[in-house]
Amino acid sequence: MTMMIRTFCICFLLFPISIWALPVDLTKNWNVKKGWLESEIPTGSGWISLESLPLVSIKSQLDFPLGDLQKVTMVKPFLLSEIDFKETESDVFALHIPYLSNVYKVYINGEIVNARGIVDNNHIVRSGYKRNILIKLSRNSLRVGKNEIRVLLAAEPGEELNYYKVFNDFGSSIDRYTVLQKIEDEYIAFMLLFLYFFVGIYHALFYWKRRNEEYNLYFALFAVFLSIYMYFRSQAIYRWGLDPFTATKMEYFIVFLTPTWLLLFVDTFFRKRISPITKGYFVFSLTLAFIQIFVNRANSVMLLRVWQGSVLAFSIVLFYITIRAILKNNRDAKRLLIGIFFLMFTAIWDILGASGMIPLQNLNLSRFGFLFFVLGIAVVLANRFLRVHKQVEELNANLERKVVERTNELQETLTRVQELKIQQDGDYFLTSLLLDPLNDSKKSRSEMIGIQSYTKQKKEFEFKGKTKEIGGDLIICDDIVLNGKKYFVFINGDAMGKSIQGAGGALVLGVVFLSFIKRTQVILESQSKSPERWIKECFYELQTIFESFDGSMLVSVVLGLVEEETGVLYYLNAEHPWTVLYRDGVASFLEDELELRKIGTKGMAGDVRVRVFVLEKGDVIFIGSDGRDDLILESGPDGFRVMNEDETKFLQVVNESQGAIEQIVQNLQSVGSFSDDLTILRLEWMGTAKRVGNISLSSIDSDHFVYSELQGVLESGNAEETYRTIERMLVSESLEDDVRINLLREKAKISLLLKRYDSAVESLESIFPYFVTDNEVLLQLSYAYRKSRNIRKAVDIGERLRARDPKHIRNLINLIECYRLQKNEERARKILKRLGSIAPENLQYLKLKESFG
């Protein structure tokens, strides 16, 4: 008997075993050795005693070669009594292992009962780690008395090599299956999972209906991601048969982004914006989530540790945002703070427990912490609902009164608007009354010029039953006399701005222009001006007036005169649409370049140029504002408009309309609708005038009697004899007008050559009406007057030529000499400076410059 006791004690010391009945505790007294040993008895050298799980607590004693696959064998004996077998007659034995990593094999009494993962050529080709391993054990593999459990584990370098002591508060043990089966009962987890999932869907629908509340979207993503993460942490994930490492990558992707959605929610909920810190954390988490997909398990675990550390910093930011909202008296923040505290506390507990940095058990508490957070959200939403409901009740209680008050306010506003509209229309009406006498093309009584006009202002209004128009377009026509000749004067202007602003500009333009005309009609001195000078002075007067508006009012104009007897048109164009000539059924532009900016432009560069054009009988001139070109070709419901940009379209319309102004307006409307004020002035010269061709005397036909008399003197080159011969010929009354006029012109040239300046003046004055557009005749006449000492007349004609051609070099030199003879040094120097800017290398300019010092 004593011998039996001693033997039992020795065996007990060598092989510590449990002496208790079910359940059998497997958390203590293990023997561990490197390598996979399927049958070696755990005695002798190399075996390490593990007093208590987890295995990682003695991993430092297991010196694995660098880079080799890490393999260990764990052996533990345990006892089963006859009572245990009797208790399981209606049940089965079951083995529970909280967690094994990575590849493992489990043996009971030398018989393999479970294995997971594949090792090939000393490398893991398929992972096998698993949580809450529950294995049914056959009664035949167990025996009364001593039994043995042997676990073979393998992991790659850097991976977790471990046998957990406990997981979710369930330790490693052997017990009846009906007892251990509760480990797989996850009713609470799945209830919470579905609750969180539907909470997320609920808030997603909120966002779908109210897109401006972005926090609903982020909260929905947070709840859905959390529910998916909980599913990955449940035992149900193993039913899919996924490779454990693949499932882990999916789990990490979800869990890395889950806190980010919470931070985005809190940021947008309290601050209505996403801060740079939140954006940075989102990019950081997203980067980790994608990187871990492409790395091995060892690096994946390292990335997990990095993320777990970032969550601690994330929690600080989360609390900072919430507490700051509380300090700003946000009532919702106070209610959410408790839920956030519970959520972060449980999440940090689980992270610390999972990381192993602190000896805490990972109890998976965050699923319950989120429940508190959801309840906090529910309280916030309920309070918001109550506040809205209270507001609705207040609105309903005072709805009738507020409707009456609002109706009265609207009525008062409408009345005020109507009063202002009446005042505005009154202002429009008074302004139109001022404009109507000015905007008149019928003041002229010309019998030689047919006048037609069309005016359509864009702004229409009604005042006291009268419909009127107001705008910035203006047409004025009248008659004046200059140097005993009757002229038809006209202006077509387009003032900047719409309605009242444009009308103000047109009013100033009309008053100043009519004032200038009236002075010309009344003051005899004003009637002694040339048409070029009259236009030039009128333009400068208008420019002086509008320049005082400091650029806030600009006007484009065509201003001109038509000599009724001869049909000579003098005009200038200041950034107005080009003048159109309709001759012989063809429309064309008279201008080909922009010469002047709008009236009122400050610092206007360039000299004023007056154009001269000779009209033939039946010629029609069309002058119009830019409303003729600014046509809306098409327009869409969104306000988009296609505008006409082809200036030649008006020429086509004039040709198609055969010069009829009413048809022109109709055809313009068929092209597109008007977008601006429109004025069109039609002038038709119906007179006749003698036109003389510029015939050279040497080209007279040989049959002509003049030819025989002139042939000799022209060939001799004797100027004096030629002069006398021409004088003798001019006495003849049988000369044709063209020949007589050209003989006078030749006489003028020879007179200048012979320095008979009075004779040159007489000849040039007599032929000028026939060569009104010939600038050379004007230059010769001014020169002849200067040489005959009629300086005033020479200056007048020279300035007339300068108005036509400001860059005529010989005329500028002639004018400088004229002003010097008049003792007008200031004027002479001004023209000299202008000459220098045009022809700085001209020899005569250099001599004049030297003479002025």
* Highest mean pLDDT (candidates 393-397, 723-727, 730-734, 807-811): 807-811
DSSP tag of 440 = B
pLDDT score, position 151:
96
Q: Is the pLDDT of residue 622 over 50?
A: yes
H helix or E strand, kind and range, residue 835: helix 825-838
Q: Is the pLDDT of residue 426 over 80?
A: no
pLDDT score, position 693:
57
Contact 80, 144 (CB under 8 A): yes
Question: What is the tens place of the pLDDT at every residue in 740-781?
Answer: 888 888 888 888 888 888 888 898 888 888 888 888 998 999
Q: How far is CA 2 from CA 7, 9, 10, 12, 822, in A?
A: 9, 11, 12, 15, 160
Q: Is the pLDDT of residue 852 over 90?
A: no
pTM of the model: 0.55
pLDDT score, position 853:
66
Q: Which residue has the tokens 């001209």?
A: 842
Q: In whole angstroms, what is the distance from residue 249 CA to residue 245 CA?
A: 6
- Show the DSSP H helices in 618-756 as ranges: 649-657, 661-671, 705-716, 719-730, 737-753
Contact 266, 321 (CB under 8 A): yes
Question: What is the tens place of the pLDDT at every residue in 665-708?
Answer: 999 988 888 888 899 999 999 988 776 655 544 455 544 555 55
Question: What is the tens place of the pLDDT at every residue in 51-68?
Answer: 999 898 888 888 888 888
Structure tokens at 839: 């022809």
Terminal Cα distance for the chain, rounded:
151
- Report, as an integer, the average pLDDT of 616-626: 92
pLDDT score, position 562:
94
Question: For the domain 430-685, what is the CATH superfamily, name and number?
Answer: PPM-type phosphatase domain (3.60.40.10)
The contacts found for 356-363 with CB under 8 angstroms, 24 or more apart, are 356/56, 361/166, 361/169, 362/167, 362/168, 363/168, 363/169
DSSP tag of 692 = -
- Smallest CA-to-CA distance from 102 within 80, 63, 131 is with 131
pLDDT score, position 435:
75
- Report, as an integer, the average pLDDT of 2-12: 47
Q: In whole angstroms, what is the distance from residue 354 CA to residue 361 CA?
A: 8
pLDDT score, position 362:
53
pLDDT score, position 33:
93
The dihedral of CA 718, 721, 727, 733: what is its sign? negative
Q: In whole angstroms, what is the distance from residue 59 CA to residue 155 CA?
A: 12
- Smallest CA-to-CA distance from 364 within 134, 243, 183, 177 is with 183
- Smallest CA-to-CA distance from 594 within 604, 583, 581, 582 is with 604
Q: Give bridge partners of residue 826 from the DSSP assignment.
A: none
- Report, as an integer, the average pLDDT of 505-533: 90
Structure tokens at 370: 């989120």
* Highest mean pLDDT (candidates 182-196, 365-379, 543-557): 543-557
CB neighbours (10 Å) of residue 357? Answer: 12
Identity at 76, one-letter amino acid code: K
- Listing DSSP states for 365-406 in one string gives THHHHHHHHHHHHHHHHHHHHHHHHHHHHHHHHTHHHHHHHH
The dihedral of CA 354, 360, 363, 369: what is its sign? negative
pLDDT score, position 137:
92
Question: What is the tens place of the pLDDT at every residue in 309-362?
Answer: 887 788 788 778 888 888 887 777 776 777 777 667 776 666 665 555 555 555
pLDDT score, position 722:
79
Q: Which residue has the tokens 């251990």?
A: 180
Average pLDDT across the chain, whole number: 83
Query: Class of the 697-852 domain?
Result: mainly alpha
Q: Which residue has the higher pLDDT, 374 or 536?
A: 536
> 473-482 and 485-495: which strand pairing?
antiparallel
Mind spelling out the 3-state secondary structure of 317-336?
A: HHHHHHHHHHHCCCHHHHHH
Cβ neighbourhood burial of 841 (10 Å; 0-12, 13-18, 19+): exposed
Question: What is the tens place of the pLDDT at every residue in 277-313?
Answer: 889 999 999 999 999 999 988 888 889 888 878 877 8
% pLDDT > 70, the chain = 89
H helix or E strand, kind and range, residue 572: strand 568-574
Chain centre to alpha carbon of residue 739? 72
- Smallest CA-to-CA distance from 668 within 624, 618, 619, 620 is with 624
Contact 774, 742 (CB under 8 A): no
Split at pLDDT 50, 70, 90, the class of 476 is very high
pLDDT score, position 535:
93
Q: In whole angstroms, what is the distance from residue 508 CA to residue 514 CA?
A: 10
pLDDT score, position 702:
46
Split at pLDDT 50, 70, 90, the class of 75 is very high
Split at pLDDT 50, 70, 90, the class of 28 is very high
pLDDT score, position 149:
95
- Listing DSSP states for 547-583 in one string gives HTTTTS--EEEEEEEEETTTTEEEEEEESPPPPEEEE
Cβ-based neighbours of 812, under 8 Å, separated by 6 or more:
802, 831, 834, 835, 838
Q: Which residue has the higher pLDDT, 318 or 555?
A: 555
pLDDT score, position 203:
85
% pLDDT > 90, the chain = 28
pLDDT score, position 572:
93
Q: Which residue has the tokens 């040497």?
A: 698
Contact 781, 768 (CB under 8 A): yes
Cβ neighbourhood burial of 723 (10 Å; 0-12, 13-18, 19+): buried
Question: What is the tens place of the pLDDT at every residue in 573-603?
Answer: 999 999 999 999 999 999 888 888 899 888 7
Contact 475, 439 (CB under 8 A): yes
The dihedral of CA 265, 269, 271, 274: what is its sign? positive
Q: Is residue 476 helix, strand or coil?
A: strand
pLDDT score, position 639:
66
* Highest mean pLDDT (candidates 374-383, 465-474, 580-589, 687-696): 580-589
**Domains of the chain: which residue ranges?**
2-184, 187-372, 430-685, 697-852
Report helix, strand and coil shares of the chain as percent, to nearest 5: 55, 20, 25
pLDDT score, position 359:
53
Contact 162, 53 (CB under 8 A): no
CATH 2.60.120.260 matches 2-184: yes
Q: Is the pLDDT of residue 8 over 80?
A: no
DSSP tag of 596 = B
